[in-house]
Structure 1
Amino acid sequence: MIPSKRINRLFRRFARRMSWPAMFTLVVAQALITYLLFYLAGEHELVSHPLQFIYYNMVVVSTVGFGDFSPVTHAGRLIVSFWQIPSGLIIFASFIGKVTQLFINIARRNMNGTNDFYHYDDHILLLCWDDHSTRQIVKLILGDKKRQKRQILLCVTDDIKNPFPDNMDVSFARLRTFSDKKELDRVAISKAKRIIVDGKSDDETLSIALSIATFAAKDANISAHFFDKTKAQLLKMHCPHIECSIDNSAKMMVRSMQDPGSSQVTEQLLSTLSGATLYCLQLPELDKELTFGTLFNNLKENYQMTLIGLSYFKNGDDMQLNPALDLPIKNGCYLHYIAHERIDAEAISWQSI
């Protein structure tokens, strides 16, 4: 007698090697042969209606029992005993094994980062992995409750498993390299709207940023973090549209020493998890010219927004903080403000200002 474990292995191997078209062909063939045999055996009650037969056949092969119908002739019972149940059990078990293997493969690809994401659009790419900083980045992104619901795609070259397997907002891709166009196409880099580059070193961050700059969308917001200012300046020379942030720990320590509480202000302004936070919106096309003071007073009074500065470049290269109240504001500029939650430009009644 063949052990049950060996039978299970044989079924799994059979299901793995069989293609889906072949599996469906077997299912249909078993049903058609059974239908024909019952028809020849005179089981008119079972084959009088195709849907009724499908229901009966599925009940028999899946439960090895009878529901509302059963054969009444001797020939029909022989067909059930020697054909319908044996063939149905084999095919049904193989089908269940194939479906189970499909879900196992999906879960394995999700954990190993081998899925394709060509279909992604308007998503966020996080390039590189650090156990502490990357988790914090994801937490801060998701902490913005009014953000656009973009899917986050974490891309790494490290040999690691998916660090966010239970988070439906974060997908995972493991790439061979960040310089291979095919690999970048796999994560739909040309359709990503937000890209964060945070390598383990400044050299890695610089290399990745230079590699992806050519393939990223022209209107994508790309940010890269550096500790060395010269590396940030080098990247800005070649890719002026990339926003480079630089480690400010020394400046923060001096500010905290000279003006106690400065670190707490900065912490709240940069964190979406508690308190007021720093946000940005683009001024739409308006029919009238506004001044900074007019905007400041109206936004504060009606929307509890504190306007602190503006820029005419998306990456903030010409940032004007705390400008004069009579400064004219041009259409299309980027307004930086503090609020307890994000307020989009569409939520503001600009014509009433």
Structure 2
Amino acid sequence: MSFLKSTLRFFHHQFLKLSWLALLLVLLGHFILSWALMWLASESALLPFDQWFYFYVTTSTTVGYGDLSPGSALGRVWAALFILPGGVVLLAAVLGKLSSFFMTVWRRGMQGRGDYSGLKNHIVIFGWNRNHTPKMVALIFGDSRRENRKVLLCTSQEMENPFPEQVLFVRGESLTDPTFMQRTGIDNAARVIVFRDSDDQTLATCLGIAATKTTAHIVAWFENQQMVDLLHSHCPQIECHSNISMELLVRSAQDPGSSRVQQQLLSTLIGPTQYSVRVPEDFGGTTFGRLLEFFKVHYEAIALGVAESTTGNDLRLNPPGNDRVEAGQVVYYLSAQRIHGNEIHWDQI
């Protein structure tokens, strides 16, 4: 018995080394040869294809329901000495190779060696910071009514996917390398967030992304406002954030408790949050005062302001009530949850 197990184990390991094509050909050959042996044994009840396929699989997997079995002594010998051990080894090899394939794919994803160039309408995060990136991911998924976009984290650090159940992961030596950019599917991305270890890295990454001609909305974080100005001189379409801790500090000193307001305005995890929605192109127009009243009465939301675009200096925060709100503009509002554009009864405003 020990010799038989060792022999089966040996053949199993040898078959695992075969290519998929070779392994499947061996399995097919065993399937056909086994049928031929049963034909020689005159096992007519087993010979029809549907009957034989069922018998072969149940025998090779050792399930053996017993509703089909050889009736002759020679048929039983072939089943015991050739079909059963051969089928067990070959099917085990196929399942083992299949399991190894999925494990390899999973490991490649964990190690960031995957290729996501086929992704579309996804969010790409460039850079990893152990103190800030986890909060960033939590805020993205904290918006429970956001558009269901895949999130792809990109880094050059030696690490594995820190959020395997939430985000996809890709790693490269240089985040600005065109080949690496292609692996991220940047051309078809919807949103891009750049948060690198230094302003120089962030600037280089933003310029590399802009060179791809992607139509994604790009947001970047800088410590130095001068770097923001430099990037805007080349790529005005990129939305930049700089360190505003001094402004928040002074505001809290002059108006105590202001930090709580800022936190709730930006966090999807605590209370009402600031969102945006684009006015549909077929909207006939209204006043900001009417929009403010409509949002509050029908959606318990507060309209904060209106802008012509998502970048630039055209934001009108808390404009006069008679200011016009027209088709194609972006409305910023405060609400307990996101309100999608198709959920707003624009024709009633």
Task: Identify the TM-score tier after normalising by the shorter chain.
Answer: over 0.9
Range with greater deviation from structure 2 (127-136 or 191-200):
127-136
Structure-1-length-normalised TM-score: 0.93
> Aligned AA for 2:315?
M
> Aligned AA for 1:346?
N
Correspondences of 1:95-134 after superposition (within 5 Å)? 95-134=94-133
CA spacing shift, 1:8–1:80, aligned 2, 3 Å: closer
Correspondences of 1:290-329 after superposition (within 5 Å)? 290-329=286-325
Indicate the residue corresponding to 2:43 in structure 1. 43
Unaligned residue ranges in structure 2 (runs of 5+): none
Structure-2-length-normalised TM-score: 0.94
Range with greater deviation from structure 2 (62-71 or 230-239):
62-71
Question: What is the DSSP-based 3-state SS (H/G/I as helix, E as strand, rest coil) of the residue aligned with 1:183?
Answer: helix
Indicate the residue corresponding to 2:33 in structure 1. 33
Q: Report the Cα distance in structure 2 between the residues aligned to 1:247 and 1:6, rounded to whole angstroms.
A: 68
> Aligned AA for 1:95?
V
Indicate the residue corresponding to 2:335 in structure 1. 339
Task: Tell me, yes or no, if the aligned pair for 1:143 and 1:273 is still in contact at 8 Å.
Answer: yes
Task: Tell me, yes or no, if the aligned pair for 1:64 and 1:85 is still in contact at 8 Å.
Answer: no
> Aligned AA for 2:71?
V
> Aligned AA for 2:281?
E
Range with greater deviation from structure 2 (273-282 or 287-296):
287-296
Question: What is the DSSP-based 3-state SS (H/G/I as helix, E as strand, rest coil) of the residue aligned with 2:290?
Answer: helix
Range with greater deviation from structure 2 (109-118 or 265-274):
109-118
User: How far is the alpha carbon of 1:122 from its aligned partner?
Assistant: 0.4
Q: Report the Cα distance in structure 1 between the residues aligned to 2:271 and 2:225, rounded to whole angstroms.
A: 30
| 1:141 maps onto 2:140 in alignment | yes
User: How far is the alpha carbon of 1:201 from its aligned partner?
Assistant: 1.0
Q: Report the Cα distance in structure 1 between the residues aligned to 2:4 and 2:173, rounded to whole angstroms.
A: 43
CA spacing shift, 1:286–1:61, aligned 2, 3 Å: closer
Range with greater deviation from structure 2 (342-351 or 135-144):
342-351
Paired residues, number: 348
User: How far is the alpha carbon of 1:65 from its aligned partner?
Assistant: 4.8
Indicate the residue corresponding to 1:58 in structure 2. 57
Task: Tell me, yes or no, if the aligned pair for 1:190 and 1:216 is still in contact at 8 Å.
Answer: yes
Q: Report the Cα distance in structure 1 between the residues aligned to 2:5 and 2:111, rounded to whole angstroms.
A: 31
Question: What is the DSSP-based 3-state SS (H/G/I as helix, E as strand, rest coil) of the residue aligned with 1:155?
Answer: strand
CA spacing shift, 1:55–1:206, aligned 2, 3 Å: same
Report Cα offsets for 1:8-67 as digits up to 9, x if no partner: 57734641x3222222222221111111110121011111x2111111111211117562
Task: Tell me, yes or no, if the aligned pair for 1:41 and 1:75 is still in contact at 8 Å.
Answer: yes
Range with greater deviation from structure 2 (58-67 or 173-182):
58-67
Q: Report the Cα distance in structure 2 between the residues aligned to 1:230 and 1:11, rounded to whole angstroms.
A: 64
Q: Report the Cα distance in structure 2 between the residues aligned to 1:6 and 1:45, rounded to whole angstroms.
A: 32
User: How far is the alpha carbon of 1:74 from its aligned partner?
Assistant: 2.3
Question: What is the DSSP-based 3-state SS (H/G/I as helix, E as strand, rest coil) of the residue aligned with 1:331?
Answer: coil
Indicate the residue corresponding to 1:265 in structure 2. 261
Q: Report the Cα distance in structure 2 between the residues aligned to 1:333 and 1:65, rounded to whole angstroms.
A: 69
| Identity between Structure 1 and Structure 2 (%) | 34
Unaligned residue ranges in structure 1 (runs of 5+): none
Task: Tell me, yes or no, if the aligned pair for 2:8 and 2:85 is still in contact at 8 Å.
Answer: no
CA spacing shift, 1:8–1:155, aligned 2, 3 Å: farther
Question: What is the DSSP-based 3-state SS (H/G/I as helix, E as strand, rest coil) of the residue aligned with 2:212?
Answer: coil
The CA RMSD measured in Å over matched residues stands at: 2.0
Indicate the residue corresponding to 2:199 in structure 1. 202
Indicate the residue corresponding to 1:68 in structure 2. 67
> Aligned AA for 2:323?
L
Task: Tell me, yes or no, if the aligned pair for 1:192 and 1:216 is still in contact at 8 Å.
Answer: no
